[in-house]
Every structure is written in structure tokens, then in C-alpha cells.
């Protein structure tokens, strides 16, 4: 078994859990924020849908240079757009992971922000932290947003209080 194989299995499971959460995003509340410092519901959901793009960059490039001044956050305008974006990114990341060698996963990968190296770790560590853990983290945030808007939550690792009722 290659190192990537259990990562692919976990990514598949977490992507399915995440998709179920994105399926519940209420279009009528995309602009809503729970706090002035928080992302809007639509921006958070779009960020989650875009998350697998990081995995593609990690696997296909040696570094990613990110300039904050050039960054324009995108917000999907419909649930269908969210799901289409997420599904396409999951498919592309799954394809990028297939056949990735252990040697490549152990090679260093860098993230530069405004020219400064912010992350330099083996690809496998960055995949775990910036893709899997990051997606799970923001999915947790999204579940709180949905709960605050009284949207029934789907099952993730077991029945939710809404599905058990």
C-alpha cells in the first residue's frame, strides 16, 4: 500500500460528509453572517467547495505563490453552483492523487504569501493539514451556521440530532 491510499480513502469519506452539508446550504441566506468578523454563509460554503483545489496545487506544483493584493474571494450564488464546484474539485483532486508516489509525497512543498514562505513541509503533511483538516474545520463552522439558521444537519460520523429524531 502506498502512503496516498489511506489519504484517498479518508478524502472520499470526508468529501461525502462535506457534500451532504453543502446540500443543505439555504440559498436565501447566502449573505448572512453570525458575527461581523465572520465570513458570510455563502462565502464559507464557497471556500469549502474550493478547498480541494489546494490539494491539486500541492500535488502538481512545488510551491504556490499567493499575493493577498490579487486575491478576490468568490461567493457562489446558488446551491447548484456550490455543489458543481465542489464535485468538480473533488474529482480533479482524486485524479491528481491516483498513483502519486511515496517519494513525491515526502518531497517539500511551499506556500508563499506576498513573497514570504509561510509553509514548507512534505506534501503529505500539507495535504493532511491544508486540505483534509482544513475542510473538516470549515465544515464544522458551516454546521454551526446551519444550526443557527435552523437548518436540519445531516449525519457525518453518526446520526445528527436532526436525523435521530
Please report the pLDDT score of residue 133 as a whole number: 97
The answer to whether the beta carbons of residues 26 and 149 sit under 8 Å apart is: yes
User: Per-residue b/e over 15-45, b at no fewer than 16 CB within 10 Å?
Assistant: bebbbebbebbbeebbeeeeeeeebbbbbbb
Please report the pLDDT score of residue 164 as a whole number: 73
Please report the pLDDT score of residue 20 as a whole number: 97
Length of the chain equals: 165
The answer on pLDDT for 126 being more than 90 is yes
Q: What percent of the chain has pLDDT over 90?
A: 90
Q: Is 115 left (phi over 0), alpha (psi -120 to 50) or beta?
A: left
pTM (predicted TM-score): 0.94
Confidence of residue 165 (pLDDT cuts 50, 70, 90): low
Please report the pLDDT score of residue 80 as a whole number: 98
Structural domains for the chain: 19-26+35-158 (1.20.120.450)
Q: Average pLDDT of 129-156?
A: 97
The answer on pLDDT for 48 being more than 90 is yes
Amino acid at each position: 500500500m502506498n502512503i496516498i491510499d489511506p489519504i484517498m480513502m479518508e478524502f472520499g469519506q470526508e468529501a461525502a460528509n462535506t457534500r451532504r452539508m453543502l446540500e443543505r446550504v439555504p440559498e436565501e441566506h447566502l449573505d448572512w453572517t453570525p458575527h461581523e468578523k465572520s465570513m458570510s454563509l455563502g462565502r464559507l460554503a464557497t471556500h469549502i467547495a474550493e478547498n480541494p483545489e489546494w490539494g491539486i496545487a500541492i500535488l502538481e506544483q512545488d510551491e504556490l505563490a499567493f499575493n493577498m493584493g490579487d486575491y478576490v474571494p468568490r461567493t457562489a450564488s446558488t446551491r447548484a453552483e456550490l455543489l458543481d464546484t465542489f464535485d468538480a474539485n473533488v474529482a480533479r483532486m482524486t485524479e491528481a492523487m491516483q498513483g502519486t508516489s511515496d517519494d513525491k509525497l515526502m518531497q517539500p512543498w511551499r506556500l508563499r504569501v506576498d513573497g514570504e514562505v509561510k509553509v514548507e513541509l512534505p506534501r503529505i503533511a500539507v495535504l493532511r493539514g491544508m486540505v483534509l483538516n482544513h475542510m473538516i474545520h470549515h465544515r464544522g463552522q458551516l454546521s454551526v451556521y446551519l444550526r443557527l439558521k435552523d437548518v436540519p444537519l445531516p449525519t457525518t460520523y453518526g446520526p445528527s440530532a436532526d436525523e435521530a429524531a
